[in-house]
Structure 1
Amino acid sequence: MRLIVTRPQPQADEWVAALHARGVQAEALPLIDIGPAADEAPVHQAWVQLSTMALAMFVSPNAVGRFFACRPAAATWPAQLWAGSTGPGTSAALLAAGVPPECVVQPDASAAQFDSEALWARLAALRSWQGARVLIVRGEGGRDWLAQTLAGQGAQVSCVQAYRRAAPQLDAAQQAVLARALADPAGHLWLFSSSEAIGHLLALAPAGTTWQQARALASHPRIAARARAAGFGRVRQVRPTMEAVLQALG
Structure 2
Amino acid sequence: MALAPLNAAAEAPRVIVTRPEREAQAWVHALQALGVPSESLPLIEIAGLQDPSSLTSAWQAVPRYLAVMFVSANAVRHFMAARPLGSPIHACRAWSTGPGTRAALLAEGWPAELIDSPDETAPQFDSEALWALVAPRAIGASQAMNKAGAKTAVQAQAVVLIVRGADAQGELAGRDWLALQMTSAGIQVLQTVAYVRRAPQLSAAQQSRARQAMSDGSRWLFSSSEAAQHLLQACPDLNLDRAKALVTHPRIALRLKQLGWSCVDLVPAGLKAQAQSIKSMA
Q: Is the structural similarity TM-score above 0.5?
A: yes
Contact 2:67–2:95 (8 Å) recurs in 1: yes
Report whether the alignment pairs 1:112 with 2:141: no
Residues 1:214 and 2:243 are matched in the alignment: yes
1:144-155 superposed matches below 5 A: 144-155=176-187
For 2:180, what is the secondary structure of its paired residue? helix
User: For the Cα contact (< 8 Å) 2:120–2:270, is it kept in 1?
Assistant: no
Where 2:124 maps in the other structure, the secondary structure is coil
Match of 1:122 in 2: 133
Q: Distance in 2 between matches of 1:206 and 1:195?
A: 16
Within 2, Cα distance between the matches of 1:187 and 1:176? 15
Letter in 1 for 2:210: L
2: distance between equivalents of 1:238 and 1:94? 25
With structure 2 as the length reference, what TM-score do the two structures score? 0.82
Q: How many pairs are equivalent?
A: 246
8 A contact 1:210–1:231 mirrored in 2: no
> In the aligned structure 1, how far is the partner of 2:187 from the partner of 2:136?
15
Report the CA distance shift for 1:39/1:115 in structure 2 as closer, same or farther (over 3 A).
Answer: same
SS at match of 1:187: coil
Farther-moved stretch of structure 1 (82-91 vs 69-78): 69-78
Q: Tell me, yes or no, if the aligned pair for 2:96 and 2:102 is still in contact at 8 Å.
A: yes
Distance, in Å, in 2 between the alignment partners of 1:25 and 1:108 is 26
Contact 2:223 2:247 in 1 (8 A): yes
Q: How many angstroms does 1:180 deviate by?
A: 2.7
Structure 1 moving runs of 4+ over 4 Å: none
CA drift at 1:219: 0.8
SS of equivalent residue, structure 1 residue 216: strand
1:88 lines up with 2:118 in the alignment: no
Asked whether the equivalents of residues 82 and 105 of structure 1 are also in contact (C-alpha less than 8 Å), the reply is yes
CA contact (8 A) 1:16 1:26 kept: yes
Shift of 1:109: 4.3
Q: Deviation at 1:100?
A: 1.2
Matches within 5 A, 1:164-175: 164-175=196-207
Counterpart Cα distance in 2 of 1:239 and 1:38: 36
Report how far residue 244 of structure 1 moved. Answer: 2.1
**Structure-1 separation of matches of 2:50 and 2:266:** 34
Amino acid at match of 1:100: P
Question: Residue 118 of structure 1: CA displacement?
Answer: 1.1
Distance 1:110 1:126, change over 3 A: farther
Map residues 1-250 of structure 1 onto 2, 5 A cutoff: 1-78=13-90, 80-127=91-138, 128=140, 129-130=142-143, 131-140=157-166, 141=172, 142-182=174-214, 185-207=215-237, 209-250=238-279
Give the CA deviation at 1:234.
1.9
Residue identity opposite 1:136 in structure 2 = I
**Native 8 Å contact 1:108 1:122 kept in 2:** no
Shift of 1:3: 0.8
Give the conservation status (yes or no) of the 8 Å contact 2:165–2:197: yes
Report the Cα distance in structure 2 between the residues aligned to 1:105 and 1:43, rounded to whole angstroms.
Answer: 22
Q: Flag the 1:177–1:75 CA change in 2: closer, same or farther, 3 A.
A: farther
Deviation at 1:186, TM superposition (A): 3.6
1:2 and 1:189 in contact (8 A); partners too: yes
Contact 1:86 1:115 in 2 (8 A): yes
Could you tell me how far 1:174 is from its partner in structure 2?
A: 2.7
Ranges in structure 1 where 5+ consecutive residues have no aligned partner: none
Query: 1:39, CA displacement in angstroms?
Result: 2.8
Identical positions, percent: 48
Provide Cα deviations, 1:98-121, integer angstroms capped at 9, x if missing partner: 111111111244543111111111
